[in-house]
């Protein structure tokens, strides 16, 4: 499509991925302003049914309807709390509604989406994600699907009288097996990591890509990281600390050890979280952790970090929470300052 072809000339894509904890009116206003400002992608997390988060696919529909340029999708859906056939139907509908401006972020899910429904973290994530993604791809291509997985069944379902939908699929992955799976079956991977972690992850991704004779240049690496924009750099450092701590706890210990991460400090953060001592966990986040696992600081520091991510093979940077105290003002400021530079890094 013409829109997507125009986006292909951009060297570095820029996305926005903010939680739906915000009121629906505020959230839609953010999406509208981001679209006008020139963000390439808009990622909507799945935290349902936990309160007070908005329903992901209802919100996706609303964002698609009020925007014109951005690619939009879930970040990420999972095969446990949502049946893959229903995800395929929702994505197909969003594709038609948006004239093709849709991608699918997919993964094993998180605590807010799974625990309230009684799903463990995580039961056979490799097999479940594999079966789900393969089923969704076939349905979107018009093939007939029959599959019986542990958490879902599809019985002779087909969208074969409909047009094929070419939807990019990106897998949220951190462990070696899931990174290999992303390389095997997806168009890209969603990380939330440091440069060292990304370099290590690429080795496992390439192993997956080798199964289908594809190169890393044909694969999209998306880094969705905690981000903070404030008037003073020290304010942004403080804003992002708690989110960095949370993200780090989801990284596999085996991978962090391989990049010589400070495991003693991470264990202290984990203990503080388990005790409900969030302020203590926040204070345990070091300056090194902030520098490696977030986007914040002065304009010069932010551009330097993003440039380094690009050099490490990242093709899209996604700004995540906490972002700012006034999203609309910040987005408009980024439109005039950082966005044009980042896209050409």
Percent of the chain topping pLDDT 90 = 93
Q: How confident is the model at residue 9 (pLDDT cuts 50, 70, 90)?
A: low
Distance CA 158, CA 140 (A): 9
Q: How confident is the model at residue 115 (pLDDT cuts 50, 70, 90)?
A: very high
The closest alpha carbon to 205, from 190, 192, 193, 224, belongs to: 190
E runs forming strands in 33-182: 41-44, 71-74, 104-106, 144-148, 153-158, 169-172
Strands 153-158, 144-148: pairing is antiparallel
Distance CA 185, CA 137 (A): 10
In this predicted structure, what is the pLDDT of residue 4?
39
pLDDT tens-digit series, residues 179-212: 999 999 999 999 999 999 999 999 999 999 999 9
- Give the residues across from 318 on adjacent strands: 15, 224
Distance CA 345, CA 223 (A): 15
Instruction: Give the distance between the most distant pair of CA atoms in the chain.
Output: 58
Question: Residue 154: pLDDT above 70?
Answer: yes
Burial 43-74 (b: 16+ CB within 10 A, else e): bbbbbbebeebbebbebbbbbbeebebbbbbb
Stretch (H or E) spanning 92: helix 84-98
**Could you tell me the domains of the chain?**
2-233+293-343 (3.20.20.30)
Q: How confident is the model at residue 11 (pLDDT cuts 50, 70, 90)?
A: confident
Q: How confident is the model at residue 10 (pLDDT cuts 50, 70, 90)?
A: low
Question: Residue 292: pLDDT above 70?
Answer: yes
Question: Residue 123: pLDDT above 90?
Answer: no
């Amino acid at each position: 499509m013409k829109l997507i072809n125009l986006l292909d000339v951009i060297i570095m894509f820029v996305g926005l991925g903010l939680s739906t904890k915000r009121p629906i009116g505020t959230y839609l206003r953010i999406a509208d302003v981001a679209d006008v400002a020139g963000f390439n992608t808009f990622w909507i997390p799945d935290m349902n049914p936990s309160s007070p988060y908005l329903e992901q696919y209802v919100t996706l529909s609303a964002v698609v309807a009020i925007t014109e340029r951005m690619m939009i999708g879930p970040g990420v859906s999972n095969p446990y709390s949502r049946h893959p056939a229903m995800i395929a139907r929702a994505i197909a509908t969003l594709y038609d509604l948006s004239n093709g401006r849709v991608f699918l972020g997919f993964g094993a899910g998180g605590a807010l989406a799974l625990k309230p429904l009684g799903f463990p973290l995580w039961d056979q994530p490799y097999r479940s994600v594999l079966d789900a993604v393969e089923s969704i791809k076939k349905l979107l291509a018009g093939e007939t699907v029959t599959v019986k997985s542990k958490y879902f069944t599809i019985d002779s379902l087909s969208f074969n009288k409909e047009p094929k939908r070419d939807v990019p699929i990106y897998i949220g992955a951190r462990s070696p097996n899931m990174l290999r799976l992303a390389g095997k079956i997806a168009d890209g991977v969603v990380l939330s990591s440091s440069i060292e972690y990304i370099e290590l992850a690429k080795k496992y991704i390439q192993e997956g890509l080798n199964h289908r004779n594809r190169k890393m240049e044909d694969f999209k690496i998306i880094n969705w990281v905690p981000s903070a924009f404030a008037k003073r750099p020290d304010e942004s450092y403080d804003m992002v600390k708690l989110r960095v701590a949370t993200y780090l706890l989801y990284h596999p210990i085996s991978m962090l050890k391989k990049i010589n991460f400070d495991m003693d400090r991470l264990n202290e953060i984990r203990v503080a979280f388990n005790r409900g001592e969030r302020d203590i966990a926040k204070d345990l986040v070091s300056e090194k952790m902030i520098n490696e696992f977030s986007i914040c600081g002065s304009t010069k520091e932010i551009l330097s970090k993003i440039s380094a991510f690009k050099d490490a093979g990242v093709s899209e940077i996604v700004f995540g929470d906490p972002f700012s105290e006034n999203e609309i003002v910040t987005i408009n400021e980024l439109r005039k300052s950082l966005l044009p530079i980042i896209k050409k890094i």
